Each structure stands twice: as C-alpha cells, then as structure tokens.
C-alpha cells in the first residue's frame, strides 16, 4: 500500500540451488554496491517479493521442487512481482530454451559460467528501466501531495480486490476519514499548514493499516481505506485506533504554532457477490460510509460511526 521514494541500494535476489554460483555472483554484485539476498528455492523468492519488493531477480532455470520457468510464471501472475525485472540463469544457450525463458515472462537471460561484465550491464539496464517505470507509476497512480492512491487508481484496485474477495468469500471493510473543521484550519493557518495536515493524516493512515490495505485520497480532505478480510468488529477497532492516533497528532505551523486536529470516520462492510458493475458496489459502500461520516459530524465530530 505504501509509496516510498527513499534512496537506497537496489536489492537483487539470487535464486540458485548451487551455493558456489550464488556466492560468486553475490560477492560480485555486493562489490558493485547492490544489496543481495541469496536463496536456494522458489518459495523463499515469493516471500521476499511480497515483503521487500526487490529491484531485480536472478533466477536459475533448474531448481529442485519448482523450476525457474514455473517460478517466473508465478512471479508474473502475482501483484507484487508483475513488473519486477527477471534475469534467468541457464546452462543452455539454444533457441528452445531462449523461447521458454521469454515466454515465461523473463526480461533477459545469462548463461553459465556467468560473465560478470555482461551481468553488470544487464542488471544496470533493467534496474534503471524499473526505476523509471516506478517514477511514471507514481505520477500516474498517486496523489502528488499525500502519496495515497488517486481516486481513479483506488477504484481500479478496489475492483480487483472485490473480485478476489468474491472468489475467496471474504468481506471488505470501508473507512471514510476526514479532518474536522479542515476549512477553518486553512482559513486560520493557511494552505501550507492545511497541506501539512493532509500529509500527516495520510502517513498516519498508512501506519495504522496493513500493507495489503488500499489507501486513496477521495477528494479534498477525505480519504478512503479498503480493508480486505475484516469483519465489522475489527473494522471498528481499526477506525477507533486511527481516531485516537489523530487526536495525538501534533502539527507545527511555519510560525511554530502547535495545533491539534480531530478526525471523523464513517464505516461500511461489503459482502461481495456476483454483480454486473463493481463500480456501483463501491459507490453504494461510499454512500453508506459517507452517511455515517455525516452522522459522526452531527454527533459532535471526532468520532467513529458505522
């Protein structure tokens, strides 16, 4: 769920059951200022992709239990690894294997024994291309101020999550959140402070949600969170935890004035079923949550209703 742009060493995963190949390749890449994780099986690769989002994967074509070809297919069909650059490592250099490698979704391949000069340049090229893709993704997918999903992308991601929830038969929680008396904050302290409040709220929402939850800026000072696999009780607990955290949030204006803010929250639970238009499902859920948000405002603000 998070969008982070911190500068750090690119992370490369080497998946090969040959320890000698892993060690030699790892030592070379570390000397080239990469962070390297070595694994000897495919299951570990998927765990790392989901948890750490590597910048490049070096994948041996022949591994026990699950071949590199099978694993490459699996990575390409996962949300976390759909675009991750993959270089296959193979002892074969014929057209048949080359076709299998590219059909599986790999970006390139390199033969054993590994030529480190070739590896260096292929790794640089693919990682640079992925960095540029991520920059474009940030511009297209995320709200510039808060780095939450923009409304269009949130809706797209929700539709994907809804289909998954329908297949696996679990509910989805929706939270609508906004800052109480946000217009007054803008009028009194200026839009720079108002923007800072929105950034702080977005950061706080990210901190208090799971990585697989969806956070979007739905308009103005209103944010929406989609929480897969939660029931009403857990949804309310999460919203109340966030509401308490908002109350503890301290924000300083450019003049050094410390201000406190409050937040109101409206909830809804979705039970996915076969429908013709998922967008209408989201629209109804947002309407329900918005009504509860309105009730929270009428109840004195700074509370959770749903």
CATH number at residue 182: 3.30.70.270
* Residues counted in the chain: 306
Strands (E) in 104-243, as ranges, are 108-111, 172-179, 214-219, 222-228
- Alpha helix positions (H), 208-231: none
Do 18 and 127 lie in one domain? The reply is yes
Give mean pLDDT in consecutive 10-residue pieces for the chain, a chain of 306 residues.
62 95 96 95 88 93 88 90 94 86 95 95 96 88 94 95 95 97 93 94 93 92 96 96 93 89 96 93 97 94 91
76 contacts: CB under 8 Å, gap ≥ 6: 82, 104, 105
> How many domains does the structure of the chain reveal?
2
CB atoms within 10 A of CB 199: 15
Residue 5, in any domain of the structure = no
> Of the residues 60, 143, 213, 221, which is catalytic?
221
Last residue of a domain, one of 116, 141, 166: 141
Give pLDDT, residue 134: 85
- Report the greatest alpha carbon distance in the chain: 72
Residue 7: what pLDDT?
A: 57
**Quick one: pLDDT at residue 4?**
47
Domain range enclosing 137: 11-141
Q: Pick from 141, 174, 196: which residue ends a domain?
A: 141
248 part of a folded domain: yes
pLDDT given at position 173? 98
Q: Is 221 among the catalytic positions? A: yes
Residue 2 has a pLDDT of: 47
Position 199 in a domain? yes
Helix intervals (H) in 32-170? 42-52, 68-76, 95-103, 116-141, 151-168
3 state SS of 218: strand
């Amino acid at each position: 769920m998070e969008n982070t742009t911190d500068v750090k060493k690119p992370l490369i995963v080497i998946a090969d059951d040959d320890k000698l190949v892993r060690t030699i390749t790892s030592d070379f890449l570390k000397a080239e200022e990469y962070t390297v994780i070595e694994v000897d099986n495919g299951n570990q690769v998927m765990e790392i992709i989901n948890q750490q989002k590597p910048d490049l994967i070096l994948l041996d074509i022949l591994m026990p239990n699950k071949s590199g070809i099978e694993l490459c297919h699996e990575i390409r069909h996962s949300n976390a690894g759909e675009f991750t650059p993959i270089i296959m490592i193979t002892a074969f250099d014929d057209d048949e294997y080359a076709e299998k490698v590219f059909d599986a979704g790999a970006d390139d391949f390199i033969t054993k024994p590994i030529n480190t000069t070739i590896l260096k340049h292929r790794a640089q090229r693919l990682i640079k291309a992925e960095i540029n893709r991520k920059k474009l993704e940030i511009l297209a997918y995320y709200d510039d101020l808060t780095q939450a999903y923009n409304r269009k992308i949130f809706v797209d991601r929700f539709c994907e999550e809804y289909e998954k929830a329908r297949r696996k038969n679990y509910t989805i929680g929706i939270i609508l959140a906004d800052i109480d008396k946000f217009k007054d904050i803008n009028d009194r302290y200026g839009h720079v402070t108002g923007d800072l409040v929105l950034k702080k709220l977005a950061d706080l929402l990210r901190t208090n949600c799971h990585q697989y939850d969806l956070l979007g800026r739905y308009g103005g000072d209103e944010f929406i969170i989609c929480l897969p696999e939660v029931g009403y009780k857990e949804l309310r607990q999460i919203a109340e935890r966030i509401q308490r955290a908002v109350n503890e949030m301290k924000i300083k204006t450019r003049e050094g004035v410390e201000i406190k803010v409050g937040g109101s929250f409206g909830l809804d639970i979705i039970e996915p079923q076969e429908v013709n238009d998922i967008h209408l499902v989201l629209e109804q859920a947002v309407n329900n949550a918005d009504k509860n948000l309105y009730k929270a405002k009428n109840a004195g603000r700074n509370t959770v209703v749903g």
